[in-house]
Structure 1
C-alpha cells in the first residue's frame, strides 16, 4: 500500500470503495455476527512458572522475524516510535509509536489490547486499524509467539514522540468502515501445521505466511486493497514491484536452494539479483537476523509453492550483455557530451554514470553487481529499474554496506533513455521506458 494516485485515479478508487462498502452494508445482517466475532480480542494464557527472561528473548526474535522496526521507525534515534509515512490510494498513513510511552505509545495498553492489535487489527478501546498494519498475516501468529512478543514490547523504553496525523480523505478516515473491509478481506485464525509436510516445511510456511508476512508485498491486491490471488504471485507497491516468488519460471523456479538462501541472508546473488527498496529493508532489518535454520525452512517452503502463472518477472536474457564492449573514453567518442542535455544516447549516459562500477561490458567491477542476468533487467516492466536509478540502493548486512547513489538529478527523458538502453543491452530488450513512466515513479 505505497502508491499515490492522480486526482482521477483517486476518484476511481473512491467510487470503487464506495461500491465495495455498499455491497458490505447490503449483507449487513449476515455479516454482523462475523464482525462481532472478529471484534473479540483473544488473549492466550501465560504458562505458570514461565521464565520471563527466556520469554522476552523469544519475543525479541518474534519482533525481528516480524520486521516491526522497519515500519515503526522513521528516525534511527527513535526506534519503534513510529512516524513512518505510507502513501496509499486513499491518503497518507503514519505508523504508530509502539514504545512504552503512556501518552503516545502503548504504555497503557493491556496485554489483550496489544495482541488484539497484532492479530485482529483492533487496538485499544476497539479502535480499528488500517491493513497497512499487516494483521491480515499476523493473525496466524501462535499463542506462544504472541505472549512472547508482548513480553518483549514491554521492555522497549518509552519515547515521547507523537507521529503525524493521518491524512485520509472521507470516507476512508472512518475507521468503523474497516469492519466491513474485514468481512470481505480478513479471516482471523492461527496458522496450523499441514499434515504430511515436514517440520522444516511447516516452519517455513509459518515464517513466510505469518511472521515475515511476505504476502503483504508479494501477493496482488483487489480493488479495495485486500490480498487477492495468486498467493505470492507478485504485488504492486507503487514505486516498486514485488516479484512472483512461487516455484515457476516466472518466479524462483530457476533459483537453486543455495542461491535463495544467500539472497534471503545477504540480499545479493552475484549475477542474479540485488535487493533494493523495501526488500533491502526486509533483509537488513529482519531476514539477515534469522537463524540459518529458519532461512533454510523458508527456502524449503518457497521452492515447494505451486506455480502462480503470473508473469511478473521474466528470466534475464544473459547472452546480450556479454557481446557489448562499450567505450572507456567518453569525450573522445562524444566530443559534444553535455550532461544536461536530454538528447544524449543511452550508451553515453551509461558510460558517464554506470560503467565505473558495472564496467562497460556490464560484468561488474569487484563487488559491484553484474548487469546481464540480473532479475531487475530481466523483468517484464521497468518499475524496479527506474526506482533504483531514482533512489539508489542502500543495504547494510552485518558489517558490509552496499551503496549505489541515485540519479534523480537526471531528467525524466534522460532516465527513460538510459533505462531503455540497459534493458536492450543487458536484459529484456522488449521493454521500452518512457519519460512519462519515469515521471510517475519519481
Structure 2
C-alpha cells in the first residue's frame, strides 16, 4: 500500500509539473531580451546603486557563511524539510556568478529558475524578489560582478524525501508562486509605493512575518500578519499599527527609529530582526525607512484575538511570576513594565511579549536579549540569560505573568513550552 501511495504521488507530481512547465515556459518566452553591455556593468553610479540594493535585500546575511568570505555562500539555510546551502554570489567562474549573464540572473531573481534551467528551492525568496524591477536587478548584478571572486563550491541541499525531488517544486510553484514585477498603485502616494516596493520586494518582509502552511507556502490573502519563522523558533510579529496589530500605536518615527537604531520607545529588535537591523536597515536612506513606515501604517486593523488572561488557571502561578519579576526584572523594565527609553525595552504592550506563541519571551528569558550594534547605539545594553538560574517552572511563571500583566492579556505558557525551547539551537 505504501508503494502504491508513493506511485500515485509521483504520477500526480509529474502531471502538475507538466502543466507548470507549460505555464512558466510561456511566461519566460514573453520576457524581452536584456540590453546589457560590459560598459554599462562598469558604470560606477550603477555599481553604487547595486551595493545599496544588496544592503536593502540583506543579501550578505544568507550568502556569507560564518567565518567565510562575504557573498561566497555556503551558509546552511534551515527549513522544516532539511537544509539548503546558500550559493556563491561572487564572480568566480567555476563556483559563482562568473559565467552568468544578466538574463540568467534576472530569471533566477524574477522566476526562481537557475542558470541550468532547474527550479530553485524557495529558501531563496524569489516569491518576493520577483517584484524587483529589471533596472534594480541590473544594478544588483553589476555590483555582484565587482566582488572579489572566491572559489567556494557550496554543495547540494540535504532535504528529506519527497522534498528532495525537484519535480515536486513544479507542484509547489503552481500552488504558491506567481512571477510579476511590482506594479505601483496609482491611488497611493509615491512614498507609499516606494515603501510597498521595498517591503514586498527586496526587503522580503512577508517571508518571515506571515505564517506558512505545512508545505512552506505563503498565504495569498495575508500580508505581514505575523508568524513563526520556520526552523528558527522565533516569532516574527504582525506589523499592522492599527487596532490589534502587532505594532498597534507605533508612529512613523517609532518604526523609523527601530529600523535605524535597533531601539525605540516602543520596543527593541532581538533575534533574527537584530541581524536585519545590524546588517541592513541601519544603513538604509532615511527617506526609504520613512517610506517603509508609511506603507506599514496603511496595513489594516486585525481581528481581536481571543482573550488569553482567562486561561491563567492558577493564582499561585501568577503570584510566583510576579515575585520573580520583582526580584529579577523590575530593576530594568520597571514595576509598570514601561522600561527605559532607548535603554531597556518596555514589556507592556510589546508585540514580542504578547505574540501568540510566547516563543520570543521564553527564548529571551532563557538565552538573553541582545539588541543590534548600530551606529546610533554602538554599545547597546543587553539582557543576561537566565537559563542557569531559573527552572522551567520559574520561566513559565515569569513569562506567563509578563504576558498577563499591564493589560497585555496574552495566553500563558507552560513548563512544557519552556522545556521545548531550552535546548533549541540558536539560529
TM-score (norm 2): 0.82
Corresponding residue for 1:419?
A: 399
Task: Return 401-410 or 286-295, whichever deviates more.
Answer: 401-410
Corresponding residue for 2:386?
A: 407
Q: Is the 8 A contact 1:35 1:180 kept in 2?
A: no
Instruction: Measure the CA separation in 1 of the matches of 2:345 and 2:21.
Output: 54
Instruction: Measure the CA separation in 2 of the matches of 1:240 and 1:178.
Output: 26
Corresponding residue for 2:268?
A: 274
* 1:43 Cα offset (Å): 5.5
In structure 1, the residue corresponding to 2:77 is in which secondary structure?
strand
In structure 1, the residue corresponding to 2:84 is in which secondary structure?
strand
1:364 equivalent in alignment to 2:356: no
What does residue range 71-220 of structure 1 map to in structure 2 within 5 Å? 71-75=62-66, 77-163=68-154, 165-220=156-211
In structure 1, the residue corresponding to 2:275 is in which secondary structure?
helix
Instruction: Measure the CA separation in 1 of the matches of 2:84 and 2:174.
Output: 22
Q: Is the 8 A contact 1:96 1:105 kept in 2?
A: yes
Q: Is the 8 A contact 2:210 2:223 kept in 1?
A: yes
1:231 equivalent in alignment to 2:223: yes
* 1:32 Cα offset (Å): 3.8
Corresponding residue for 2:362?
A: 386
**Which residue of 35, 55, 79 maps to 1:45?**
35
Q: Is the 8 A contact 2:109 2:126 kept in 1?
A: yes
* 1:217 Cα offset (Å): 1.1
1:302 equivalent in alignment to 2:282: no
> Relative to structure 1, is the Cα distance of residues 311 and 362 closer, same or farther in structure 2, using a 3 angstrom cutoff?
closer
Instruction: State the superposition RMSD in angstroms.
Output: 3.3
Corresponding residue for 2:212?
A: 221
TM-score (norm 1): 0.80
Total equivalences in the alignment: 399
Instruction: Measure the CA separation in 1 of the matches of 2:187 and 2:23.
Output: 31
> Relative to structure 1, is the Cα distance of residues 418 and 78 closer, same or farther in structure 2, using a 3 angstrom cutoff?
farther
* 1:144 Cα offset (Å): 0.9
Corresponding residue for 1:61?
A: 52
Instruction: Measure the CA separation in 2 of the matches of 1:92 and 1:426.
Output: 41
Instruction: Measure the CA separation in 1 of the matches of 2:332 and 2:356.
Output: 25
Where structure 1 has 5 or more consecutive residues not aligned to the other structure, the ranges are 1-15, 317-343
Instruction: Measure the CA separation in 1 of the matches of 2:217 and 2:7.
Output: 15
> Relative to structure 1, is the Cα distance of residues 70 and 48 closer, same or farther in structure 2, using a 3 angstrom cutoff?
closer
> Relative to structure 1, is the Cα distance of residues 167 and 353 closer, same or farther in structure 2, using a 3 angstrom cutoff?
farther
Where structure 2 has 5 or more consecutive residues not aligned to the other structure, the ranges are 310-318
Instruction: Measure the CA separation in 1 of the matches of 2:8 and 2:352.
Output: 36
> Relative to structure 1, is the Cα distance of residues 427 and 436 closer, same or farther in structure 2, using a 3 angstrom cutoff?
farther
Q: Is the 8 A contact 1:391 1:407 kept in 2?
A: yes
Instruction: Measure the CA separation in 2 of the matches of 1:99 and 1:235.
Output: 33
Corresponding residue for 1:10?
A: none
1:154-195: per-residue Cα shift (whole Å, max 9, x none)? 111123344464320111112232122111111111112112
Instruction: Measure the CA separation in 1 of the matches of 2:203 and 2:360.
Output: 21
What does residue range 236-247 of structure 1 map to in structure 2 within 5 Å? 236-238=228-230, 239-247=233-241
Q: Is the 8 A contact 1:313 1:375 kept in 2?
A: no
> Relative to structure 1, is the Cα distance of residues 346 and 159 closer, same or farther in structure 2, using a 3 angstrom cutoff?
farther
Instruction: Measure the CA separation in 2 of the matches of 1:181 and 1:291.
Output: 36
1:57-98: per-residue Cα shift (whole Å, max 9, x none)? 010111111110111123255222223333322112222222
Corresponding residue for 1:322?
A: none
In structure 1, the residue corresponding to 2:107 is in which secondary structure?
helix
Q: Is the 8 A contact 1:208 1:298 kept in 2?
A: yes
Instruction: Measure the CA separation in 1 of the matches of 2:37 and 2:187.
Output: 29
Task: Return 189-198 or 409-418, whichever deviates more.
Answer: 409-418
Q: Is the 8 A contact 2:90 2:149 kept in 1?
A: yes
Instruction: Measure the CA separation in 2 of the matches of 1:43 and 1:157.
Output: 28
Corresponding residue for 1:396?
A: 373
Instruction: Measure the CA separation in 1 of the matches of 2:16 and 2:171.
Output: 10
Instruction: Measure the CA separation in 2 of the matches of 1:46 and 1:275.
Output: 40
Instruction: Measure the CA separation in 1 of the matches of 2:9 and 2:222.
Output: 21
* 1:414 Cα offset (Å): 3.3
